[in-house]
């Protein structure tokens, strides 16, 4: 089970990604909006993979918790690399600036979540 706080961060990432995409759709165009939405999706899909895997522990020891975190980070890295590769290979109309700025904005959500606590 993914902890409630982590689910809130992922939902916030999804909403922010959709919001950025909507603003860009109105102000710049659909290709920019879709690029931004995809950048956000890469971030929150990797975050979900991390959260899901890190929630799977074998035991209640500190070592088990640490191993689950390591496994979550490995999976998050793998998912991010696969998604980046997939986007760059298959989406030829990608606006790289919007893609990466939205991806980075999703990473800032973690920092904002720490400040809210």
Contact 49, 76 (CB under 8 A): yes
Place of tokens 């606590």: 117
pTM: 0.91
Q: Return the pLDDT at 116.
A: 77
Interval 62-106: pLDDT, tens: 999 999 999 999 999 999 999 999 999 999 999 999 999 999 999
Structure token pair of residue 21: 């995409």
What pLDDT band is residue 113 in, cutting at 50, 70 and 90?
Answer: confident
What pLDDT band is residue 2 in, cutting at 50, 70 and 90?
Answer: confident
Sequence ranges of the domains in the chain: 4-112
Sign of CA dihedral 7, 77, 13, 106: positive
Q: Return the pLDDT at 110.
A: 84
Contact 42, 83 (CB under 8 A): yes
User: What average pLDDT is seen over the chain?
Assistant: 94
Q: Return the pLDDT at 5.
A: 87
DSSP state of 1: -
């Amino acid at each position: 089970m993914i902890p409630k706080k982590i689910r809130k961060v992922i939902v916030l990432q999804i909403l922010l990604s959709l919001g950025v995409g909507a603003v860009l759709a109105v102000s710049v165009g659909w290709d920019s909006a879709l690029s931004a939405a995809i950048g956000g999706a890469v971030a929150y899909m990797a975050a979900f993979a991390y959260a899901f895997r890190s929630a799977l522990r074998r035991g209640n020891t500190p070592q088990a918790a640490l191993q689950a975190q390591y496994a979550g980070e490995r999976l998050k890295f793998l998912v991010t690399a696969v998604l980046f590769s997939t986007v760059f290979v298959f989406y030829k109309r990608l606006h790289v600036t919007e893609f990466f700025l939205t991806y980075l904005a999703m990473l800032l959500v973690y920092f904002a979540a720490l400040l809210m606590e």
